Amino acid sequence: MRILLHRADGKTEPWIKDFAKYLPEAEIEIWHAGEKCQACDYAVVWSPPEAMLDELATVKAIFVTGAGVDALLKFGDALPAHIPIIRLEDAGMALQMAEYVTHSVLRYFRRFDEYEAQARAGQWAPLPQHHKEDFAIGVLGMGVLGTRVLQALAPFGFPLRGWSRTEKTMPGVQTFAGPDGLDTFLRGTRVLVCMLPLTPDTSNIMDRTNMNKLPEGAYIINVARGAHIAEPDLLTLIKSGHIAAATLDVFRNEPLPAQHPFWQEPRITITPHISALTLRRESVQQIAANIRKTEAGEQVAGVVNRTLGY
């Protein structure tokens, strides 16, 4: 068995060592631009270059070292439809995401962002507390990661809301579904958390029209993809005060360009796409288990529906 591995950061040695431990029967082939690779059974990638398509088109399955697959689906029909794309379902990312979102929600609820600004200005001015019943948290996307975030927030007593493409139920969460449910979901959400996959239907889902449906003084947390937000619209709504503040971990262009206006807006908190880092060992263990299941003809979790985009 041969596995074709590509890492954009070039750090392949730790992955090779982990595969040697958890899938010792596999031989690892490192993809290099301009070099001809031997035929491989599987590929393990994150955001492969277009030059890798010929090799990807001949494997049994492509394993993605993350939860999002838009970096692969952008190639469209260049990747034969019969080759399954299999994403990570969790591999340690859900807990990290829950930590990040919970911290961001509590920071806004307790007004720590405003106290930080006061401290920098040398001001001592206690602020009125937000009322928890008026601080509904709405999660866009109720997949594995979104569900874990809602579970993490449950003990704090906030009103919890969730929106998904199709109807879902979750104890303690008011749920909404489909285009018809999105309007009602947004109008009752004080803190909007985006955890959607990026598809043609969800691109720019947070544009001026939808963000205007949020209550005055709402907050936005985006840990999904930068293309979910119409960036100029967000900036306009923050400057008008309709959106009180935003915490953004993802952007249309990464790294975020130095001249981007987000850097100059103090009510936007920026982090460098670190809300849920890929945990290599857990990822390799999950991929190894799924390769063994594939070899045995068994079903595996995380197979991407290309029509839906996740």
Residues with active-site annotation? 225, 273
Cα separation, 125 vs 39, whole angstroms: 66
CA–CA distance from 107 to each of 223, 247, 269 (Å)? 16, 10, 11
Q: What is the DSSP string of 234-272?
A: HHHHHHHTSEEEEEES--SSSSPPTT-GGGG-TTEEE--
Cα separation, 56 vs 85, whole angstroms: 10
Cα separation, 15 vs 27, whole angstroms: 12
Q: Are 33 and 70 in contact (CB under 8 A)?
A: no
Q: Are 210 and 187 in contact (CB under 8 A)?
A: no
Running DSSP on this structure, what letter comes out for residue 65? Answer: S
- Using only the alpha carbons of the chain, give its radius of gyration: 21
Region of 269 on the Ramachandran plot (φ > 0 left; ψ -120 to 50 alpha; else beta): beta
CA 17 to centroid of chain Cα atoms: 27
Residues 6+ apart with CB under 8 A from 111: 127, 129, 130
Cα separation, 308 vs 5, whole angstroms: 26
